[in-house]
Structure 1
Amino acid sequence: MKPTKIKTILIGLGRIASNLEKDPFRKKPCTHMGVLMSPWGKSHFQFVSGFDSNPEVCLEFQNQWKTQSETVFPGSLVENKSLPIDFAIIATPSHTHEMVAKECLQLGIRNLLIEKPVAMSKKGAMAIARLSKAKNAKVWINHERRYHPSYLFVRDELKKGNFGILKSIRASVFTSAKNPGIAFSKFGGGPLLHDGTHALDLIHWLVGKPKLIYAKMERPKKGMIETRAFACFETKQNVEIILDVSGGRDYFQFEIDIHTSSHRIICSNDGFQFFESAPSQLYKGFHSLKSYIPKQFPKPESSNAFLGIYKEIQSVIHGKSNHMEGTLSENIQILESIESIYRH
């Protein structure tokens, strides 16, 4: 018998929930509603209702997705209860995640997907964790790169030793101060919390929680959020890690640069590059790095991270699997790393 569709609500109807689907350059689906309205999404999820505090956003969402007016509500879930619900997606601004997650859990919703960061602090994340445990609920955090086939390939090959022995990682997240968005808002949290969390998640995913060795914060004035966060970490296996997160660039760049004993792998929003040790054409008796493409590297058409996380959620909710990536405990550790940089 075909599994029942998962009754789903979407809380927060803006950028990552819906609007980015209009971007002609992005691979689709690239938003939560994009997944729910995709052919695969429609066969596994039932969109019940959406909520947003801004009536204009509600109207824009309704027009974009041609939803019925009774399915989109200006206001909170508590004000407009539409239960029973199997699954709630929380795509509201970061400073509201803790409050909205608690509301959902108190209403008896037992499966949540929360946008990153899960909360503004470790304390807030732990409060969600305690309540979710008491309510026997499952919570995912949307660090979507964990589900991207290209990142999964790199991680698997590193674990197998096919890229040699891991030596160092340099992670950089550069964003524009000309269009800073929520990272510079009055609600707190700078580039490190709002953007650097993706890089730290991948670091934790690849090597576990590293130890902070050095950190430097740059702020325009005392008491203001940072314009740059720079940190050095080290793992128990002596892998050295550099994290550089800046909101002061005139471009956007996300990059993880991995060096091993025999390879270099660059994972970025601009694509993936692979280099392997080979006899040098420049220096006799030396080896240089030669560019190549691994035979098993996923083809571009298979690379969609958003479908990956939803397929995991669907499988867990229907009892086909117990495996969960991006758990609350992992995200508490990520927030510990972030807060250690702020304190250093």
Structure 2
Amino acid sequence: MRDVFRVGIIGCGRKASTIDDEAHLRWLTNYDVVPSSHTSAYLQNPRTKIVAVAARTEESLQRYIARWKLYDVRTYTDYKRMLELEELDIVSVVTHADMHAEITIAAAKAGVKGIICEKAMATSLEEADEMIRVCESNGVKLLINHPRRYHPTFTTAKKMIEDGVIGELKSMRGAIWTFLLHNGTHLWDMFCYFAGDADMVWGYVAEEDVQDPGGCAMIRFKNGVMAFADVMTMQGFNMQLYGSDGMIHIDMFKEGFRVEVYEDLIPPSKDRPYYQFRPKRLVRSEHIEIEKPFTPPMQAAVQDLIDSIMEDRQPRSSGYDGRKALELGIAVHASARKGGMAVTLPLTDRTIRIISR
């Protein structure tokens, strides 16, 4: 195993490169922080070295090289040629979603050790299944870049739930702006992060003639937790996590999150039916601050992939996790096509294809 992992980046647009230039515009404080791009995260990790980059046009490649002053990096307009000629350890797939499966599968077959693929993972579950199968059969670690899994706001909230601070998790509500897959994938992923595996979805699609529209959904998880999603109207990202003894509110316009804890004014009794009103009083209301500095999520994802290769384990945001998020988004479409009737998971039709924006 090399001390330094040789990296190839496929796609050199916004998330691969220029998103770092938007730092002064960033208003989603609980989302991502610089370095946000794949390139900057690799450059700041002492165990990774970018040796090659591929894009569709020479113009894109030259802008990328000039932006990062990586004059010794080899460039390709054919990613297959790059995979053939370069001895790569890690590949970042930072293209539009309709190319994710093809490139990920090719990289896995080319002998890389790890892949970071942008969200949404794929355009169909059939593609996602094959991505996972090929990576597993070739011993490749696949990480799907859902950065909230690496952000301390969300990891701290999850730890508080696991520690029983708000009692047993009962329901979740979440909102994110438009696009059921391109943006909605973040919400689907966080629902699964907090509640595990879902088994039923009811969905509504706002614009049937749009490839990746907004919509709404209700989701049931195997542990009984219910989730309600608005992927239509919200600017930003918000989540409310309701437990039997409290709630957590994550507001993307404020760092950290708010936790409230309640206690029963009347002790629970087996003699009272579960639906009887149980008055409670507030015993704790606190804004949880996130300790700084913390490792930016993109940097944490790169390090997680390296660690998963070295330790032979799944990344914290694995291909399996990415497929769960994708399945929820596609299930909303599947339900909407049945007039909002419930669909059960896993979906039997793996061929439904939604190209995210």
TM-score w.r.t. length of structure 1:
0.83
Match of 1:18 in 2: 17
Deviation per CA, 1:204-226: give whole Å up to 9, x if none: 1111122335211111xx54335
| Cα distance in 1, alignment partners of residues 197 and 121 from structure 2 | 17
1:238 equivalent to 2:224? Answer: yes
Q: How does 1:79-228 map to 2 (within 5 A)?
A: 79-80=81-82, 81-175=84-178, 191-219=179-207, 222-225=208-211, 227-228=213-214
1:275 equivalent to 2:269? Answer: no
Contact 1:212 1:337 in 2 (8 A): no
How many residues align? The count is: 311
Match of 1:337 in 2: 328
1:287 equivalent to 2:278? Answer: no
Match of 1:76 in 2: 78
Q: Could you say what the CA RMSD is over the residues aligned between the two structures, in angstroms?
A: 2.3
| Cα distance in 1, alignment partners of residues 2 and 217 from structure 2 | 47
The percent of aligned pairs where both chains have the same amino acid is 19
Task: Say which is worse superposed, 304-313 or 148-157, in terms of deviation.
Answer: 304-313
Matched letter for residue 327 of structure 1:
S
Deviation per CA, 1:126-169: give whole Å up to 9, x if none: 11122222222211111111111121111011011022222211
Q: How much has 1:289 moved relative to structure 2? A: 7.9
Matched letter for residue 229 of structure 1:
G
**Alpha carbons of 1:303 and 1:136: their partners in 2 closer, same or farther (altered >3 Å)?**
closer
Q: How much has 1:333 moved relative to structure 2? A: 2.6
| Cα distance in 2, alignment partners of residues 94 and 58 from structure 1 | 20
**Alpha carbons of 1:8 and 1:287: their partners in 2 closer, same or farther (altered >3 Å)?**
same
Contact 2:201 2:332 in 1 (8 A): no
TM-score w.r.t. length of structure 2:
0.80
Task: Say which is worse superposed, 47-56 or 75-84, in terms of deviation.
Answer: 75-84
Unpaired runs of 5+ in structure 2? 27-32, 264-278, 336-357
**Alpha carbons of 1:277 and 1:136: their partners in 2 closer, same or farther (altered >3 Å)?**
closer
Unpaired runs of 5+ in structure 1? 176-190, 280-284
Q: How does 1:19-38 map to 2 (within 5 A)?
A: 19-25=18-24, 26=26, 27-38=33-44
**Alpha carbons of 1:289 and 1:211: their partners in 2 closer, same or farther (altered >3 Å)?**
farther
Q: How much has 1:264 moved relative to structure 2? A: 2.4
Q: How much has 1:11 moved relative to structure 2? A: 0.8
1:253 equivalent to 2:236? Answer: yes
Matched letter for residue 244 of structure 1:
D
Q: Secondary structure at the match of 2:293?
A: helix
| Cα distance in 2, alignment partners of residues 335 and 321 from structure 1 | 25
Q: How much has 1:124 moved relative to structure 2? A: 0.4
| Cα distance in 2, alignment partners of residues 52 and 23 from structure 1 | 21
With CA pairs under 8 Å and 6+ residues apart, which has the higher RCO, 1 or 2? 2
